[in-house]
Amino acid sequence: MHSSSAPLPPAPSAIWLPIFAGLCASLVSIGLARFAYTPLIPSLIQAHWFSASDVVYLGAANLVGYLIGALIGHPLARLTSNKCALRLMMLAVTLAFFACGFPLSVSWFFGWRLLSGIAGGAIMVLVAATVLPQVPAARKGLASGAIFLGIGLGIAGSGTIVPPLLSLGLQQTWFGLGLLALILTAASWFGWPTTAPPAAAAPSNTSPSPPIDPNVYLLFAQYAFMAAGLVPAMVFLVDYVARGLNAGAHVGALIWVMYGLGAIVGPVSYGFLADQLGAKAGIRIVLVLQALAVGLLSISSSFAALALLAVILGSFPPGIVPLALARVHELIPGHHQQQVAWSRATVSFATFQALSGFAYSALFNATGGHHALMFVIAFGAIVVALLLELGSRLLGRSTESLTLNTGR
């Protein structure tokens, strides 16, 4: 017999509607706004919309916007509300797609790519905080995987939608992406939770706030190096296959679809991994796998090898989001503190992503388009992320033994 005080479980639709809205938001703002640009790079150069060096820098504009968005997401939500800010950001991305159909100047294009990045960053810090409080604790990993599955669907979608749209023309491609973003914005419009997230119990004035676990800072550092490690495949993979290996745009698009398939599998499987093994072990396994994949990419040229590596690499950008989020939830108890830590983690990720975006672009132009070098550097960044945990563990052990010795 149930006690009368036991809370009723939320209705399935009450959980899945916000998750669907979150999926649409990540699909539009990151899946399409950032990743649809990658298969467009060869066409933007060939159609002489912009020079090769400008096209690469315009790709980095989205990454800079993402950093700005991660910083202004919560202030924007405080001015309006989470629901209002998320709707506004989705509309901004949709508008940016239509504006990019007019190649008026590099600065015009840069501005709109920047705006779409800002929307992506703001959505990334707000979407989980808006949706996950509606979800039971045991399902949070899987639910955050489902939200960020939108990124994977956007990547796969961009690989399958962009080539047929390009046959209509470059301007029509941007308009087509804008129309898709508009449909998804409309579909998610009423899916956002109407109730505020359950308020955490207010801390009493007598209890001091708990000290921050040093592992939180380790996570920020690891997340930053992961960002640096995923940029080259994210930005240069299609160009590497199409122009670097002379396989042509068609094969480049096929490899991008494989990357997209990985991106669909990534969030849900990484989220499941976090629920089953814990986020810490999950992060370690994923980093080893990614280091191997990006290292092999620099020496691979057969289609089968590239396709397999693309699936593994594609799982990484959207997949580490639910893993890192789960790690934040493991390390920090209160909902408000979790939100603050997640914002900081996203800012740390976005900072390194933007800096490495420009650094890789500059290096790419300086070396005359040396793709393999980018992948070797990415391998180094992921290895550093792995070594950081090992270093902190050794440091923790030495501190522990020192404490034991001095305590005798």
pLDDT at 408: 53
**Region 94-119 average pLDDT:** 92
Give the confidence band of 201 by pLDDT, cuts at 50, 70, 90.
Answer: very low
| pLDDT at residue 10 in the model | 53
Expressed as residue numbers, the domain containing 252 is 12-194+213-398
Q: Residue 220 in contact with residue 344, Cβ under 8 Å? A: yes
Alpha carbons 314 and 294: distance in angstroms, whole number = 11
- Alpha-carbon distance of 16 to 206, in angstroms, equals 39
> Distance between CA 312 and CA 260 in Å, rounded?
10
User: In this predicted model, what pLDDT tens digit does every residue of 112-136 receive, in sequence order?
Assistant: 999 999 999 999 889 888 888 877 7
Does any domain span residue 18?
yes
Number of domains in the chain: 1
Distance CA 125, CA 145 (A): 15
Range of 48-62, 206-220, 375-389 with top mean pLDDT:
375-389
Residue 204 lies in a domain: no
Mean pLDDT, rounded, of the chain: 83
The token pair at 312 is: 């593994």
Contact 120, 338 (CB under 8 A): no
Residues 16-31 have a mean pLDDT of: 89
The answer to whether the beta carbons of residues 135 and 19 sit under 8 Å apart is yes
Q: Which residues contact 319 (CB under 8 A, 6 or more apart)?
A: 148, 263, 266, 267, 269, 270, 286
Per-residue pLDDT at 211 exceeds 80: no
Residue 279 included in any domain: yes
Q: Does residue 67 or residue 57 have the better pLDDT?
A: 67
Q: Is 234 exposed, middle or buried (0-12, 13-18, 19+ CB in 10 A)?
A: buried
Using alpha carbons, select from 350, 347, 371, 32 the residue that is nearest to residue 233.
371
Q: Tell me, what's the pLDDT at 200?
A: 41
| Any domain includes 61 | yes
| Predicted confidence band of residue 85 (pLDDT cuts 50, 70, 90) | very high
The answer to whether the beta carbons of residues 166 and 43 sit under 8 Å apart is yes
| Residue pLDDT, tens place only, 135-194 | 777 777 778 888 888 888 888 888 788 888 988 988 999 999 999 999 999 999 988 887
pLDDT score of 63 more than 90: no
Residue type at 388 in one-letter notation: L
Q: Is residue 266 part of a domain?
A: yes
Q: Over 50: is that where the pLDDT of 75 sits? A: yes
Structure tokens at 242: 């199409």
pTM strictly above 0.95:
no
User: Which tens digits make up the pLDDT trace of 296-341?
Assistant: 988 888 889 999 999 999 998 888 888 888 888 888 887 788 888 8
* Sign of the Cα pseudo-torsion (5, 194, 332, 267, in order): positive
Angle between helices 316-331 and 335-366 (to 10 degrees): 150
Interatomic CA distance for residues 386 and 182, integer angstroms: 40
pLDDT (average), residues 252-271: 87
What's phi and psi for 301, nearest 5 deg?
A: -140, -15
8 or 120: which leads in pLDDT: 120
Q: Is 48 left (phi over 0), alpha (psi -120 to 50) or beta?
A: left
pLDDT-based confidence at 198, cuts 50/70/90? very low
Q: What is the DSSP string of 226-259?
A: HHHHHHHHHHHHHHIIIIIS--HHHHHHHHHHHH
Structure tokens at 61: 């504009």
In this structure, is residue 199 part of a structural domain?
A: no
d(CA 327, CA 322): 9
Considering only residues 119 and 47, tell me which one the structure prediction assigns the higher pLDDT: 119
Tokens of 231: 């940029």
Q: Which of the 8 DSSP states describes residue 195?
A: S
Residue 295 lies in a domain: yes
Percentage of the chain exceeding pLDDT 90: 28
Given a cut of 80, whether residue 14 has pLDDT beyond it is no
Give the list of residues 6+ apart from residue 96 with CB closer than 8 angstroms, or none.
Answer: 33, 112, 113, 115, 116, 119
Contacts of 186 (CB under 8 A, 6+ apart): none
- Within-domain flag for 366: yes
CATH number, residue 275: 1.20.1250.20
CA 233/CA 229 separation, integer angstroms? 8
Question: pLDDT at residue 407 above 70?
Answer: no
Quote the pLDDT of residue 334.
79
What is the helix, strand, coil percentage profile of the chain, to 5?
A: 80, 0, 20
Q: Shortest CA distance to 34 belongs to which of 157, 205, 167?
A: 157
